[in-house]
Amino acid sequence: MAAQRCASEMLDVVHGCLHPLTSEWIFLRELRVGAGVRAGAGQRLDAFALNCFVHKGMVRVCYEVKVSRADFLCEMKRPLKRRIGLRYSNEFYFVTPVGLLNITEVPIECGLIEVGSFGDAEKRAVTEPENMLHFEPNHNNYCGVTVPAPWRESPGPTWQFVAGMMRNQHRALSAPSAKAPKQERLAF
């Protein structure tokens, strides 16, 4: 695995490993919280997952991606920044490349998910039964819940938060699709 992994790639792995069923989960990226332009309305959550089944508790999980130690240390200096994510979720996770953080650095109200790619060393480590990893089926990636996030009961979302979720989904669904590859007839 490359030492540096971009936030989008890490969220792809988390989405593919932990929330693959679109009939069960809504997975929102770059979710802008709020509907206005006031202070705080522009705050964004890196990712937010909502379980759509009442019988599964409609679990809400917030993800904050950190690609470098400097990024994480800056976050630790501004604990109020994650207040919105903590307010709307039942679980809050930092998502980092494998080995970026020591588990003692993770705040008590948060969990840690580490994302990696398989190499020979990782494949040997996975065979040990105490390693609890989630695998992305189509790629050579995995994510492991290194520090489970504590469960918090949280109040329901506000209308501003719902509006932000709807705006996010609309943007994702109305984005132009990728161009079809140019096809040519081959002469035999």
Residue with tokens 């719902």: 162
* Tens of pLDDT, residues 156-177: 888 788 888 888 887 777 877 6
For residues 141-156, average pLDDT: 89
Residue 188 in any domain: the answer is: no
pLDDT at 32: 83
Residue 136 in any domain: the answer is: yes
Enter the pTM of the model: 0.78
In angstroms, rounded to a whole number, what is the distance separating the alpha carbons of residues 96 and 107? 14
Residue 178 in any domain: the answer is: no
Q: How many domains does the chain have?
A: 1
Domain membership of residue 112 as a residue range = 7-168
Query: Residue 157 in contact with residue 23, Cβ under 8 Å?
Result: no
Residue 88 in any domain: the answer is: yes
* Tens of pLDDT, residues 115-146: 988 764 554 455 443 445 677 656 678 888 99
Residue 35 in any domain: the answer is: yes
Residue 176 in any domain: the answer is: no
CA 52, chain centre distance (Å): 17
